[in-house]
Each structure stands twice: as structure tokens, then as C-alpha cells.
Amino acid sequence: MAPERTTQTLVVLGAQWGDEGKGKIVDLLTDRADVVVRFQGGHNAGHTLVVKGEKTVLHLLPSGILHAGVECVIGNGVVLSMADLLKEIHELEAKGVELRGRVRISSACPLILPSHIALDQARESTLRGGDKIGTTGRGIGPAYEDKVGRRAIHLGLTRDEAKFSARLEELFDYHNFLLANYYRVATVELAKARDELLKQAGELRPMIADTVEILHGHRRAGRRILFEGAQGALLDIDHGTYPFVTSSNTTSGGAATGSGFGPLYLDRVLGVAKAYATRVGEGPFPTELFDATGEHMAKAGNEFGSTTGRGRRCGWFDAAAVRLATQINSISGLCLTKLDVLDGMESLKVCVGYRDAPSNSPAVESYGRLRPLYEELPGWRESTRGVRSVEALPANARAYIAFIEETVGAPVEIISTSPDREDTIVLRPPFG
């Protein structure tokens, strides 16, 4: 009989609308990993790590970067702003983090160009009130459009200056035509952009690699690989609250396509969810609160975007939405973060379904009109901030977690009680 296979790969992803605390959890679990991989999104992500009170916000580098010796891979599914990646690298190096030799970037990453950013911002500013997406303005949507439209320039092409320059000129022609004639805004200067891009590419060159080959080498060597999602399931281009979504597959299938790691090599999927719900940007949010309770959550949870600084909208935990996220991602376990934010609340509501819902798919137009069905649970007076064992949690907090497990249909394996790496309860180690 074959020996039991222990878990070697784990996907960590957001089970709500992003900002669930993925960065903290990936950083924490990296002490058990050899490699951490980003597989989709770009610098629209903002992942916060707090280690002994010191805060680091990452946008492109995988959240394993603070662990010496761990390899950090940016997979082919990521749309890459070379300028922003370099900024992040320089900031970390200035803090004394040793990056040399352990950052690998797929040569197949489509580049985010300055014209993508101009297009993203021009589009947002011309959309009327209710149609605005509230993007991060980082060029993510236009860059993915070019990828699917088979016009994108891959990072690897920067190694051939002549070919790169010719393709850039063609693409700029197209982008500048849209900027000038459709959006009627300023165009982006080609020569300056080309020089800057080539300079950036020169600096990144030692890190450009065939990451598919590298990852399979690690797999064959039995190393532990952690795949780090960005955004969240309800922002997925196919399964999220379309069109108020991001432009990539944030769900677990994206880990396979965005890294070249076949789905059967992915052992477990950890869905990270806040103990309540937040959303930044526009779009439907059935359990959103517009009252003092929502304001309290925003204040207690310090709910301001890690990338744009925008205030996040807050609401009750939507177990129906997280149940859906569990199915579309094949979530094998949940991590519940920010439990401490609910301290001191008299009672807590959990959305268990919707009234008269013909469909509760976030991808349908009617999603925004859903009326949640709530169950109310008693809150707790005690502080859970910094609690590190399940026994030390108030009985009502434990009952709240048990109710979420049962309603969502997935076990809670990790509980987070403060931004700090150490303030975490690991009930079941996600790696074997």
C-alpha cells in the first residue's frame, strides 16, 4: 500500500470581498513552507503583515518574504507593474530584508504599462455614478483585457529590446487612440515609457525565470508550497458580483492556471474570512450596515484599504456567501480573522440565506436586491484581543464560531485575534 501522502501544497485565498487578512495568515503559515506563490491579480492587492508591532504592506511580493530562505514566486497569472515591484523590493531591502536569489518572476507575466493605468482611470472617471466599479486605478482591468485580447507584452519579451520596442509602439498606438479619441484625455508618451520600462526590466532581469519548471522541481523534491490568493471569491471575474469585480479568477482554479500547477497537485484550500464582512469600492453587499453598528465595526476594525486608503463598507457575516465561496473554491478549512473586532457587541447577526431568492449567485443582476435572512446570536463582553488558545475564548465567541462552521459547512481551522502574527489560534495545522 502506498504511504499516506502528507499535505505539501496549500492555497490560501479570500472567501469574501478581499482584505480578509490573507497576508497575515500566509506570513504565519510560511514558517511551515519552502515556497510562496502569487498567482493572480497585481498591485491592486494590499496584504498587511505585523510582526512584533512592525507593519509591512505588500502589493506584489508574496507574503512569505519576511522569512529568510523562503522562495517567493510571482506566477504567470499576475499582471506585473515593474515600477511598483521595484519600489516594493527597494523598500524591503532598505529595511534590511535579504531578497537576493529568492524572488522569481514568471517570464509570462503580462506587463502593466503606464497606458493601462491611464485607461483604467479614464474609464472610471467617465462612468456615471451607479456604473462606477471603484477600481484601485492600478491598470488591472486594461492589462487583463490585453492579455485575453492576445496583445499583452510579457515580461520575458523585455529581454529582446528590438522586439519589445516594436510591440510597445503598436500597443501604445492602440492605447493612445482610445485615450485621445474615446476618452478624450491626455495620451501617454511612448519614448519616455519605453526607456523607463527597459531600465526597470534590466534591474529585474536576474529574477525573470521559467517559474513553471521551478515549481515542479520543488514539487518533485517534496517541498511545501503555499499559494497566496489576492482579492476574494466574490470579486472573481466569473463568480463574483459582476461587473463589480476584479479582472482575474481569484478562486482556487486560478492557483492552477496562474502558476502552471495542475489542480490535482493542490492538496488543501484555506478560505480566509473576517468574522463580519467588508467591501471596498462599489457593488452589491447584501448584509451592509448603514448604522452605528457598521460604523463601530469600521472603527474597531480600522477598516481602511491597504492599497488606496479608502474606507471599507462593513456588514454582518454572510454565511450564505461564504458557503458559496466554499463550494466554488473547494475550501477544505476556514480561517476566521478579526474576531476581536466583535468584542463588546450586545448581539451578532449572521446571514443564513435570503428571502424569496430565485438565485443567490453573486454573478446575477438581482444579487444586489437580495434580502438577507438573519439568525441572531448573543455577543460577548470580554476582550478576545490577542487570545492564543480556544479555551481562553468566551463561551459566546466559541458558539459564534461553531454556528459559522455549521452554516457555512466547513471547519474553522485557524482563528485570528489581532493584526500580529503571533495572535492566532491554529486548531489544525494546514500542512501535513
Could you give the strand order of the β-sheet that contains 333-337, starting from the edge strand earlier in sequence?
A: 208-209, 103-106, 71-74, 35-38, 225-228, 9-14, 268-274, 333-337, 412-416, 424-426
Which stretches of the chain bind ligand IMO, using CB under 6 A? 14, 17-19, 44-47, 133-136, 138, 140-141, 230-232, 235, 246-247, 280-281, 306
For residue 293, which of 244, 347, 330, 335 has the smallest C-alpha distance? 347
Give 426: exposed, middle or buried? Use CB within 10 Å, 0-12, 13-18, 19+. Answer: middle
Asked whether position 19 contacts Mg ion by CB under 5 A, the answer is yes
Q: Which helix (H) or strand (E) holds 321?
A: helix 319-329
Among 9, 17, 24, 314, binds ligand GDP (CB under 6 A): 24
> Which of 211/418 has CB closer to Mg ion?
418
**Catalytic site residue from 34, 43, 47, 146:** 47
Closest distance to ligand IMO from the beta carbon of 151 (Å): 18
Q: Rounded to 5 degrees, what are φ and ψ at 242?
A: -60, 135
Using CB under 6 A, which residues numbered 47 to 76 contact ligand GDP? 47-48, 50
> Which of 64/156 has CB closer to ligand GDP?
64
Using CB under 5 A, which residues numbered 40 to 69 contact Mg ion? 46
Cβ atoms of 250 and 271 within 8 Å: the answer is no
For residue 111, which of 74, 85, 81 has the smallest C-alpha distance? 81
Closest distance to Mg ion from the beta carbon of 231 (Å): 8
For residue 65, which of 15, 40, 100 has the smallest C-alpha distance? 100
With CB under 5 to 8 Å by kind, the binding choice for 134 among Mg ion, ligand IMO, ligand GDP, none is ligand IMO
Asked whether position 232 contacts Mg ion by CB under 5 A, the answer is no
Closest distance to ligand GDP from the beta carbon of 158 (Å): 29
**Residue found by looking up cell 485580447 in the block:** 149
> Which of 25/140 has CB closer to ligand IMO?
140
With CB under 5 to 8 Å by kind, the binding choice for 297 among ligand GDP, Mg ion, ligand IMO, none is none
**Residue found by looking up cell 510562496 in the block:** 36
With CB under 5 to 8 Å by kind, the binding choice for 417 among Mg ion, ligand GDP, ligand IMO, none is ligand GDP
- Please confirm, yes or no, whether 116 is among the known catalytic residues: no
Closest distance to Mg ion from the beta carbon of 69 (Å): 26
Among 16, 21, 144, 281, binds ligand GDP (CB under 6 A): 21
State how far the Cα of 430 lies from the Cα of 301, in Å rounded to an integer.
Answer: 26
Beta pairing class for 71-74 and 35-38 = parallel
State how far the Cα of 160 lies from the Cα of 184, in Å rounded to an integer.
Answer: 33
- Please confirm, yes or no, whether 47 is among the known catalytic residues: yes
Asked whether position 306 contacts Mg ion by CB under 5 A, the answer is yes
For residue 231, which of 145, 329, 317 has the smallest C-alpha distance? 329
Closest distance to Mg ion from the beta carbon of 59 (Å): 9
Q: Closest-CB residue for ligand IMO? A: 281
Closest distance to ligand IMO from the beta carbon of 281 (Å): 2
With CB under 5 to 8 Å by kind, the binding choice for 418 among Mg ion, ligand GDP, ligand IMO, none is ligand GDP
Asked whether position 42 contacts ligand GDP by CB under 6 A, the answer is no
Cβ atoms of 264 and 5 within 8 Å: the answer is no
C-alpha grid cell, residue 226: 503555499
11: CB partners within 8 A, 6+ apart: 226, 227, 229, 252, 255, 266, 268, 269, 270, 329
**Catalytic site residue from 19, 236, 267, 420:** 19
The stretch near ligand GDP (CB under 6 A) out of 44-52, 138-146, 191-199, 245-253 is: 44-52
Asked whether position 421 contacts ligand GDP by CB under 6 A, the answer is no
Q: Which long-range contacts (CB under 8 A, 24 or more apart) does 212-218 make?
A: 212/76, 212/106, 212/259, 212/260, 212/261, 214/71, 214/73, 214/104, 215/35, 215/37, 215/73, 215/75, 215/259, 215/260, 215/261, 216/260, 216/261, 218/34, 218/35, 218/71
Among 41, 42, 46, 142, binds ligand GDP (CB under 6 A): 46
State how far the Cα of 415 lies from the Cα of 339, in Å rounded to an integer.
Answer: 7
Asked whether position 77 contacts Mg ion by CB under 5 A, the answer is no
Among 23, 75, 77, 254, binds ligand GDP (CB under 6 A): 23
Beta pairing class for 9-14 and 268-274 = parallel
Using CB under 6 A, which residues numbered 328 to 387 contact ligand GDP? 337-338, 340-341
Chain residues in the site for ligand GDP (CB under 6 A): 14, 18-24, 46-48, 50, 301, 306, 337-338, 340-341, 416-419
Chain residues in the site for Mg ion (CB under 5 A): 19, 46, 306
Query: Annotated active-site positions, please?
Result: 19, 47
